[in-house]
Amino acid sequence: MAELTDIVERIVGWAGDDEQVEAYASWGRDTDIEVYERDIESLSSAETQGVGIRVVKDGRQGFAYAASFDTDVLEETFAEARDNATFTEPDEWNGLTEPDGVAEATIEVWDGRLADVATADKVDLALRLERLVAEGDARIRAIESAAYGDAIVERALATTTGIRSALRRTVCSIAAYALAGEPDDTQTGFGFSVGRHVDDLDLDRAAADTVDRATRMLGATKPESLRTTVVLDPFVTSQFLSIIGSTLNGESVLKGRSLFADRLGESVAAVGVTLVDDPTDVRTYGASPTDGEGLASRRNALIDAGVLQQYVYDTYSGRRSGAGSNACAVRGGFKGSPGPGCRALVLEPGPMSPDELLASVSDGVLIQSVKGMHSGVNPISGDFSTGADGLRITDGALGEPLREFTIGSTIQKMLQGVIAVGNDLEFLPFSAAGQSLAISDVTISGT
Partner 1 sequence: MVGLEERFRGEVESMIEPAGAADVLATALRRGGDFAELFVEDKRTTGASLDDGKIDQVASGRDRGAGVRVVVGDTAGYAHTADLTPPGLRAAAEAASAAARDGGGGTRTIDLTPTTHPSPSTTTKIPEDIPKARKIELLRAADAAARGAGDAVKQVMAGYSDGRRRILVANSDGVYTSDDQIRTAFRVQAVATGDTGMQTGYRSVGHTIGFELFDDHDVADVARQAAESAIGKLDARPAPSGTMPVVIAKGTGGVMFHEACGHGLEADAIAKGASVFAGRVGQQVAGKAITLVDDGTMAGEWGAFAIDDEGHPAGRNTLIEDGVLTDYMWDYLRARKEDRPYSGNGRRQSYQHLPMVRMTNTYVLAGTEDPDEIVAQTPSGVYIRQLGGGQVDTATGDFVFGMTEAYLIEDGRITDPIREGNLIGNGPRCLANIDALGNDFGMGMPGMCGKNGQGVPVGDGNPTLRVSELTVGGTAA
Site for partner 1 in 361-380 (CB under 8 A): 371-372, 374-376, 378, 380
- Which of 151, 408, 423, 429 is close enough to bind partner 1 by CB under 8 A? 408
- Which of 257, 266, 332, 351 is close enough to bind partner 1 by CB under 8 A? 257
CB of 356 to partner 1, least distance (A): 29
Please check whether residue 171 is in contact with residue 9, taking contact to mean a CB–CB distance below 8 angstroms: no
Nearer to partner 1 by C-beta: 3 or 108? 3
Site for partner 1 in 285-324 (CB under 8 A): none
Length of the chain: 447
| Site for partner 1 contains 205 (CB under 8 A) | no
**CA–CA gap between residue 172 and residue 151 (Å, rounded):** 6
| Site for partner 1 contains 67 (CB under 8 A) | yes
Q: Which residues contact 58 (CB under 8 A, 6 or more apart)?
A: 18, 90
Strands 19-36 and 39-57: antiparallel
Only segment of 108-116, 262-270, 332-340, 414-422 that touches partner 1 (CB under 8 A): 332-340
| Site for partner 1 contains 80 (CB under 8 A) | yes
Nearer to partner 1 by C-beta: 147 or 273? 147
- Which of 5, 267, 360, 445 is close enough to bind partner 1 by CB under 8 A? 445
Nearer to partner 1 by C-beta: 54 or 343? 54
DSSP state of 350: -
| Site for partner 1 contains 136 (CB under 8 A) | no
| Site for partner 1 contains 20 (CB under 8 A) | no
- Which of 113, 255, 283, 353 is close enough to bind partner 1 by CB under 8 A? 255
**CA–CA gap between residue 189 and residue 140 (Å, rounded):** 10
**CA–CA gap between residue 85 and residue 20 (Å, rounded):** 11
Only segment of 41-49, 99-107, 228-236, 349-357 that touches partner 1 (CB under 8 A): 41-49
CB of 83 to partner 1, least distance (A): 8
- Which of 6, 10, 29, 68 is close enough to bind partner 1 by CB under 8 A? 68
CB of 30 to partner 1, least distance (A): 9
| Site for partner 1 contains 333 (CB under 8 A) | no
**CA–CA gap between residue 315 and residue 339 (Å, rounded):** 9
CB of 130 to partner 1, least distance (A): 13
Phi first, then psi: give them for residue 145, nearest 5 degrees.
-155, 145
Q: Which residues contact 392 (CB under 8 A, 6 or more apart)?
A: 223, 364, 365, 366, 398, 399, 400, 401, 402
Please check whether residue 373 is in contact with residue 243, taking contact to mean a CB–CB distance below 8 angstroms: yes
Coil, helix or strand for 289? coil
CB of 200 to partner 1, least distance (A): 22
Pattern 93-132, binding to partner 1, x per CB under 8 A? --------------------------x-------------
**Amino acid found at 203:** L
CB of 386 to partner 1, least distance (A): 6
Site for partner 1 in 180-199 (CB under 8 A): 183, 186-188
Nearer to partner 1 by C-beta: 309 or 410? 410
- Which of 71, 353, 362, 381 is close enough to bind partner 1 by CB under 8 A? 381
**CA–CA gap between residue 213 and residue 128 (Å, rounded):** 19
Q: Which residues contact 34 (CB under 8 A, 6 or more apart)?
A: 40, 41, 42, 43, 126, 145, 146, 147
Site for partner 1 in 415-444 (CB under 8 A): 443-444
| Site for partner 1 contains 446 (CB under 8 A) | yes
CB of 101 to partner 1, least distance (A): 29
Q: What angle do CA 117, 123, 124 make, to 5 degrees?
A: 90
What residues pair up with 24 in beta bridges, in sequence order?
52, 157
Nearer to partner 1 by C-beta: 256 or 265? 256
Nearer to partner 1 by C-beta: 35 or 358? 35
**HEC profile of 126-188:** HHHHHHHHHHHCCCEEEEEEEEEEEEEEEEEEEECCCCEEEEEEEEEEEEEEEEECCHHHCEE
CB of 26 to partner 1, least distance (A): 13
CB of 225 to partner 1, least distance (A): 4
Candidates 34, 31, 45; CA nearest to 145 is: 34
**Amino acid found at 331:** R
Q: Which residues contact 344 (CB under 8 A, 6 or more apart)?
A: 277, 278, 279, 281, 284, 285, 286, 287, 431, 432, 433
Only segment of 75-83, 106-114, 416-424, 432-440 that touches partner 1 (CB under 8 A): 75-83
CB of 60 to partner 1, least distance (A): 9
Only segment of 12-20, 58-66, 100-108, 292-300 that touches partner 1 (CB under 8 A): 58-66
Strands 300-304 and 140-159: unpaired
